[in-house]
Amino acid sequence: MESIRLSGNHQKPVNGEAGKKYSTTTKVDDTLAPGTSYVKTRGTDGSTIEVTRTVRDVNGNIVRQDLFASVYDPINEVILKGRIEAGGLLHI
């Protein structure tokens, strides 16, 4: 019976299509006090993660290598804020 050893490399981020930056959107929330705001959704940039799995025989020779890649789209940031009152008028 032949035995094998399975090992893998650590994950490494890779720049590419998925390395897009997130954008920020500000929305008015009438339930908030005038002039207040908070981050409802924290933004994160997109990324690609690649992991290489290497299979070696008992002598350390590479039998097989497999590349696995996961692509993550950016998550856009959402900020909610209350309306600002100025001179009796509500402004967004």
Distances (CA, A) of 67 to 50, 64, 85: 7, 10, 56
pTM of the model: 0.58
Q: How far is CA 8 from CA 4, 5, 48, in A?
A: 13, 10, 17
Q: What is the pLDDT along the chain (92 residues), one digit of tens a residue?
A: 555 555 555 555 554 446 789 999 999 999 999 989 999 999 999 999 999 999 999 999 999 999 999 999 999 999 999 987 665 555 55
Q: What pLDDT is stored for residue 9 in this prediction? A: 53
Question: CA-to-CA distance for 79 and 92, rounded, in angstroms?
Answer: 13
Residue 16: per-residue pLDDT: 46
Q: For position 10, what pLDDT does the model report?
A: 52
- E-strand ranges in 42-91 read 47-57, 62-72, 77-81, 84-86, 89-91
**Beta-carbon neighbour count of residue 5 at 10 Å?**
11
Which DSSP letter does residue 75 get?
Answer: B
